[in-house]
Homo-oligomer: A and B are copies of this chain.
Amino acid sequence: MARPRPLSGYPEYSPAERLVEQQVLDGLRRVFELHGFASVETRAVEPLSQLLRKGEIDKEVYVVRRLHEAADTEVGDDTLALHFDLTVPFARYVVENSGTLAFPFKRYQIQKVWRGERPQEGRYREFCQADIDVVGRDVLPAHYEAEMAVVMSEALSALPLPALRMQVNNRKLIEGFFRGVGADDPAAVMQAVDKLDKVGAEGVRTLLTGPAGLSAEQADACLALAAISGCDPSVLERVRALGVHDPLLEEGIADLGAVLEATAGLASERFSLVADLSIARGLDYYTGTVYEMRMEGFESLGSICSGGRYDALASDGKTVYPGVGISFGVTRALAPLLGRGVLTASRSTPTCVLVALGDDAARAAAGRTAAALRARGIAAEVSPDAAKFGKQIRFAERRGIPFVWFAGAGEDGGDQVRDIRSGEQVGADPTVWEPPAADLRPSVVRAG
């Protein structure tokens, strides 16, 4: 075949890049599981009727058909399409398996999703998401809204990412506030305020006093709310100081306060959590806490991690399943970091020790040496052939393998192992020798 070219929007990693991604995914999984989240995987396809319920994203969906049926042009409810997120499939999984799942049910889900968007940095057609959700039957206590922020911040803080900033808000608070200022259509106000990033305060004011039907004073109050942000409970005092009164607003203030209190200990050099009263999240099903997250130096990517509380994402008609969840855009965050060389791996293979070959007859003995190392968890492989030792060392160098093992190289006839970075070569026995802990597995290296 002619050399194939990459497909735009379908990122693929080199082995070293994939090692970075694996460590990121391992780190996420470890924290999710420590917090009692069980892994779920759903099939890649859903019937269109499931995917289009929200009605927003039909253009982005990929339809899937057997090749000999590809001439069919009709698309129906049963037509299968690739999932575009992990929330819709999870909601379907919950209803389908509600008879056997134990509620409240905590699950994490790390899978690829597909969207037919125009590709650009941070936007791909195939990309990996890592979601956590808690879903209840009929009820779900509000404390899980704080727990989501705690779990995701703990998981992401442990990763080799730039500093992260999580923004939280509460839908009840803003909807109650907009109602309290006398807005007839709080949803229209929310949609206008949601454009603050894009059109600025004056642009939002125009939307509020135009399509959303607010007076200049009402619009000012809404913009004053959206301007409030901060890390501590004093932000709630600033909301109260705006003098708007509404029962839903009070509920929202209490819920946001509880989230701020429960997450007060999370701040670090690498992570901050702020209440940002301008955050609304576009999708209309959130009903409580909402989350977004940005990565320092990569603000142009937008939110790399978002979610919220939904009181009725899933329902089978008789029973409703309220939930709260956050989705981390693994590829959206990681592909730019790998692409710009911010992150790389210390080597391109798991191998820690290359066992050199003096001659081809020594292969069986070299294999036993490698097996002895592996038996103690040290990744080891034998040279592909008995080339000159210089060539075998270059084989290791090209892959970043730190150690090369030489059988019978010592004056006493014993084995020796060389750290090819320092050149230091010492006597070693494959049944007891250990590499430094930092060299046992490939590590993630951050530039700068």
Contact = CB atoms under 8 A, between A and B. Distances in A.
Interface of A: 1-7, 10-15, 18-19, 22, 33-45, 47-48, 50, 53, 58-68, 70-71, 73, 75, 79-82, 92-93, 95-98, 100-102, 104-107, 112, 114, 116, 126, 136, 141, 143, 262, 314-317, 348-351, 363-364, 367, 374, 377-381, 384-385, 395, 398-399
A73 B70 contact: yes
A43 B12 contact: yes
Contacts of A364: 262
A19 B4 contact: no
Nearest to A364: B262
A14 B97 contact: yes
B381 A35 contact: yes
Nearest to A102: B398
A378 B33 CA distance: 9
A38 B19 contact: yes
A63 B92 CA distance: 24
B65 A62 contact: yes
Nearest to A5: B96
Contact of A15 (B39, B47, B95, B262): B39
Given A18-B40, A64-B82, 20 more contacts: A1-B53, A1-B92, A1-B316, A6-B96, A10-B45, A12-B93, A13-B40, A14-B101, A19-B39, A22-B39, A34-B350, A35-B379, A35-B380, A36-B349, A37-B350, A44-B44, A63-B66, A64-B114, A67-B116, A70-B79
Contacts of A62: 64-67
A398 B100 CA distance: 10
A316 B2 contact: yes
A395 B81 CA distance: 37
27 contacts: A1-B53, A1-B92, A2-B316, A2-B317, A3-B98, A4-B92, A4-B95, A4-B96, A11-B43, A12-B43, A12-B93, A14-B97, A15-B107, A19-B39, A36-B349, A36-B351, A44-B126, A45-B126, A61-B66, A62-B65, A62-B67, A63-B65, A65-B65, A66-B116, A67-B116, A71-B73, A102-B348
A379 B3 contact: no
B399 A102 contact: yes
A43 B66 CA distance: 19
Contacts of A79: 70
B63 A81 contact: no
Nearest to A140: B384
A431 to B, nearest CB: 16
Contacts of A82: 64
Nearest to A395: B102
Contacts of A42: 12
Nearest to A38: B15
Contacts of A378: 34
Contact of A70 (B11, B75, B102, B316): B75
Contacts of A58: 67-68
Given A43-B12, A62-B65, A67-B59, A38 B349 contact: yes
Given A100-B14, A385-B141, A34 B75 contact: no
Nearest to A49: B1
Most central of A1, A48, A104, A385 by chain B CB within 10 Å: A1
B67 A64 contact: no
Contacts of A367: 262
A43 B53 CA distance: 27
Shortest Cβ-Cβ A-B pairs, 8 listed = A36-B381, A36-B351, A33-B350, A66-B116, A10-B43, A15-B38, A34-B374, A61-B67
A350 B36 contact: yes
Contacts of A4: 50, 92, 95-96
B316 A3 contact: yes
A377 B68 CA distance: 51
B63 A59 contact: no
Contacts of A65: 62-63, 65
Contacts of A315: 1
Contacts of A350: 33-34, 36-38
A18 B1 contact: no
